[in-house]
Chain A
């Protein structure tokens, strides 16, 4: 099978973003011993391609020597000539020239996070001492030969500023993903629903989310030289092909091959499942991927049955949405049987795109 391994090099981070998914910043850096065992095991169970996503915390805190070891270990164990792709998701503030030169030489794909405009970014993406980080990130990524992609977390701060944000990030990136914000530290507490509020003050309502992403779509459509803007471009693709392709919109992505590896060597069905034990496959020392397909399929089958007989029954956008991320359901509601939190907003943008495709006789 093809494997996508999201590897947490460390829980630690030099930033304290207000919407951070991390429950803790206490962990140490993955040891070189665990790194070697992780890489060798993943290569051993893969049959054609491996995506290694070097993640954190802030992965660059692992240091240059950690990253220099990666291609050496991959070469040592990749005796069957698998295609290996390395990507790194960094906040960009520590992307010194020594890292840039190494990543460019070794072909690492670089992703970063720019939260729209300088003002919005500096209000939420702050360092440990509360200092702003926008200028540092832009200064670092501007030196890259290939522009990075970026994530924009769709929070309440974004609402109404979509055009300004699109134009602000465009000079610095080759693409952006509008990422749905959900409160990972909610831990299944559902009393927020009874209060008629969202579980976090930064979180837009599903309607606000939908309206915002529609505005992004309109800005993107008007651009004569557009950047890739996900998930909008993925939605268009999914209408044409008939199925969704990416994480958060396709449970097949989870079912097939995504795993999360903690710095300790613990393997999870996805990093979003950590540290809940029910998603733990084992530790790298006991070759946990032997059980991967069985566990991930069991979880997914149960969820898909619950959704297609329940909240997603007869939904015309099932193939585009798939009910959303199973682990979002778990984190927000405490079980795996809830549809996407932003369902109403997802339907809004999907209806909007579908109308355009119909007007163009593409649907």
Chain B
């Protein structure tokens, strides 16, 4: 069976963030974590 556990984990975390009212637009440091634009 194809492994989709990682997809599920990210999706569930997003659902939790949405329920908690976390802003959709992440700040740069969250979105990029020190990466370049």
Which of A126-134, A163-171, A352-360 forms part of the interface with chain B?
A: A352-360
**A-B pairs under 8 A by CB, number:** 118
Q: Are A362 and B11 in contact (CB under 8 A)?
A: yes
Residue of A nearest to B31 (CB): A246
Q: Are A236 and B24 in contact (CB under 8 A)?
A: no
Q: Are A109 and B34 in contact (CB under 8 A)?
A: yes
Q: Are B37 and A109 in contact (CB under 8 A)?
A: no
Q: Are A241 and B18 in contact (CB under 8 A)?
A: yes
A109 surroundings in chain B (CB, below 8 A): 29, 33-34
Residues of B within 8 A of A (CB): 2-4, 6-8, 10-11, 13-15, 17-18, 24-29, 31-37
Q: Give the secondary structure class of A's interface.
A: mixed
A230 surroundings in chain B (CB, below 8 A): 31
| A235 to B29 Cα, complex, angstroms | 18
| A53 to B27 Cα, complex, angstroms | 11
A271 surroundings in chain B (CB, below 8 A): 37
Q: Are B34 and A220 in contact (CB under 8 A)?
A: no
Q: Are A233 and B36 in contact (CB under 8 A)?
A: no
Interface residues contributed by chain A, number (CB under 8 Å):
57
Residue of B nearest to A252 (CB): B25
Interface string of A210-228 (1 = CB under 8 A from B): 0000000000111100101
Q: Which 6 A-B residue pairings sit nearest by Cβ, starting from the closest?
A: A111-B34, A4-B28, A109-B34, A240-B14, A87-B34, A246-B31
| A246 to B10 Cα, complex, angstroms | 16
| A233 to B8 Cα, complex, angstroms | 11
On whether A110 and B3 interact (CB within 8 A), knowing A49-B27, A236-B10, the answer reads no
Residue of B nearest to A2 (CB): B27
| A253 to B13 Cα, complex, angstroms | 21
Which of A24-32, A146-154, A296-304, A331-339 forms part of the interface with chain B?
A: A146-154
Residue of A nearest to B15 (CB): A240
| A237 to B16 Cα, complex, angstroms | 11
A252 surroundings in chain B (CB, below 8 A): 25
Closest Cβ of chain B to A115, distance in Å, is 13
